[in-house]
Structure 1
Amino acid sequence: MSRAITSETKHSIISDFKEITKIRLSVSVVFSSIAGYLLGVESVDYNTLILLALGGYFMVGASNAFNQVIEKDLDALMNRTKYRPVPAGRMSVNTALIIATIFTILGIVILYTINPQTAMFGAISIFLYTCAYTPLKTKTPLAVFVGAIPGAIPFMLGWVAATDDFGIEPGTLFAIQFFWQFPHFWAIGWFLFEDYKKGGFFMLPTGKQDKGTAVQTIMYTVWTVLVSIIPVFGVTGRLYLTPISGVIVFILGLGMLYYAIQLYKKMTVLAAKQLMLASVSYITLLQIVYVLDKFIR
């Protein structure tokens, strides 16, 4: 009996740790960073790759832990978040703050060992997510714009880690993931609209599930697709995409655009969920295509 309780307690602690650091989101960020690194590097240094993955994980984990401390009272109001460790009372605010602080220090120190610029962008990401995006979520829909900045950093962070340089190439990677954030998060904001409203969050550009939001979602999807194929034209320095890969990325983009248009036509929660899934598939497959294109050509 006692052995079973101990096992359950351990499982709960591990689950809460995963939840406070949002491990699935952290993994997706690490994936983006590694993709950016592979695009920028001349020859792969596996030590740097491991440091980037660890630093990226700690960076996102810190941001999410701080976020859940700041929003603990609002999280308790929403079905989606009320069972998180802090609002549910399974983890104290002090424990969450200790985790966030340790993760911040580890993330920045590890990224600094790669190069100072990588650490700087990592620190900017944590600061903007915690001190700008999080408090603005209850104030204005512009929070999504602010949040798109730290959200777009991981893809370019990998390039900076590989080259110790910020130029047109990482700027383009940043732009791709920056514009992508809008249809992605507005889709989430749409299908979680009622739950977000309980917490007082303003995520949709018009504040409502209306045609205006749907039209802006289509516009930003179009911009995402257009920015994604710019490297085909040889104007983004060492970041180049062959025409064949450009066509593949464009077709993937048309797939996401289809679901954005469906949201406009149907205005339903299901259509918003489908767009969200399409957006996740798009950015993941785009990064895979970019990396494969570099190493195959």
Structure 2
Amino acid sequence: MSEVPSLEKTPGMLANYVEITKPRLSIVVVFSSIAGYFLGAETYDWLTIVLLCIGGYFLVGSSNVFNQIIERDRDALMKRTMNRPIPTGRIAVNHAWVFGLTMALTGVYLLYLINWPTAFFGALSIVLYAAVYTPLKTRTPLCVFVGAFPGAIPYMLGWVAASGSFGIEPGTLFMLQFFWQFPHFWAIGWMLESDYKAGGFKMLPTGAADKGTAVQIVLYTIWTIAVSLIPAFGVTGSLYMTLWSAALVLLLGLWFLYYSIKLFRERTNAVARKLMLVSVSYITLIQIIYVVDKFIR
């Protein structure tokens, strides 16, 4: 009896290369950069926006490529990542290095065409993510703290692209996204605890999905909410928010906090997943509110 041919198709080479850039994550990061640009720009230059989109995607994509090269053996041990192109051999490691380096250099150059501070912070984000955060993931839970720095750069990067300098305004945007990442990534670490342990990663602050981790998630959520409201007090230069928008931001923060507290009380993977999804919606809506507020006041 002859075998029935499998109908499952292996992704094409182009699809494999797109996959290792983690396109959904990269697009979300680029969105935050564009939000930062619209917040910081007095007049809008479409060439700058295009350079920021393409250059930003290349930088985030290259960081993801380097991350997957370094972690390829550990990715093969985890259900969530074992079918990625590099651990399965669909993309050779040396080819991935060439691809990642090409993307990184191209991305930095495109951001340099905007201004040198944008290129500097973009390059810094790659170095911190690939050369510092990624190796620390198997050594210490402090990796999340380190990883929060490159993760917070894109939002402020847009403002720097618009203004050409770093100040209190992009610093505030950086701080907001910095604190937000802790409850977000710890929620992911919570629901994928067994998978991360299989790969040898130390992603949770106490080393386990326990009460101590849940307490820290609640605390960092509170700090995120506090930072999100700072622009309403008129102490962040030209980054300002009206009281009506501040009220919406506070409501979103309480929604975020509700699920953080719910995780503290119930400590289940289902709630951790819900918190992760809420956190993504929260930061996206906050960025939209900040931008809309600028245009309607």
TM-score between both structures, scaled by the size of structure 2: 0.96
Classify the secondary structure of the residue corresponding to 1:124: helix
Gaps of 5+ in 2: 1-7
Aligned partner letter, 2:81: T
The residue that corresponds to 1:93 in the other structure is 93
1:155 and 1:74 mapped to 2: Cα distance?
Answer: 30
In structure 1, the residue matched to 2:5 is none
Shift of 1:16: 1.2
Give me the whole-angstrom Cα distance separating, in 1, the residues matched to 2:18 and 2:205: 31
Question: Post-superposition shift, 1:11?
Answer: 4.6
Partner of 1:211: 211
CA RMSD, 1 decimal? 1.0
Q: Distance in 2 between matches of 1:54 and 1:196?
A: 31
Identity, % of aligned positions = 62
SS in 2 for 1:229: helix
Map of 1:285 onto structure 2:
285
User: Counterpart of 1:244?
Assistant: 244
User: What is the CA-CA distance between 1:19 and the residue it aligns to?
Assistant: 1.6
1:65 lines up with 2:72 in the alignment? no
Q: Which residue of the partner structure matches residue 3 of structure 1?
A: none
Q: What does 1:77-226 correspond to in 2, within 5 Å?
A: 77-226=77-226
Residues 2-54 of structure 1: CA deviation (Å, up to 9, x unaligned): xxxxxx98952233122210000110011000000000000111110000001
Equivalents in 1 of 2:251, 2:277: separation in Å? 16
2:274 alignment counterpart: 274
Equivalence for 2:4: none
Taking the aligned partners of 1:258 and 1:10, their CA distance within structure 2 comes to: 42
The amino acid that maps onto 1:59 is L
Read off the aligned partner of 2:66 and give its amino acid letter. Answer: F
Q: Could you list the per-position Cα deviations for residues 121-165 of structure 1 after superposition, in whole angstroms to 9, with x for gaps in the alignment?
A: 000000000000000000000000000000000000000000001
Match of 2:15 in 1: 15
Report the residue type matching 1:181 in the other structure. Answer: Q
AA of the residue aligned to 2:128:
L
Q: Is 1:25 aligned with 2:18?
A: no
TM-score for both structures, normalised by structure 1: 0.96
CA distance in 1, matches of 2:215, 2:9: 48
The 1:9–1:112 alpha-carbon spacing in structure 2 relative to 1, beyond 3 Å, is farther
Amino acid at match of 1:224: T
Distance 1:165 1:66 in 2: 28
Measured after TM superposition, the shift of residue 95 of structure 1 is: 1.1
Task: Write 1 or 2 for the structure with the bigger share of helix.
Answer: 1
* Cα offsets for 1:188-235 (capped at 9, x unmatched): 000000000000000000001111000000000000000000000000
Distance in 2 separating the partners of 1:264 and 1:68: 32
Number of residues of Structure 1 aligned to a counterpart in Structure 2: 290
Q: Which stretches of structure 1, 4 residues or longer, exceed 3 Å deviation after superposition?
A: 8-11
The one-letter amino acid paired with 1:13 is M
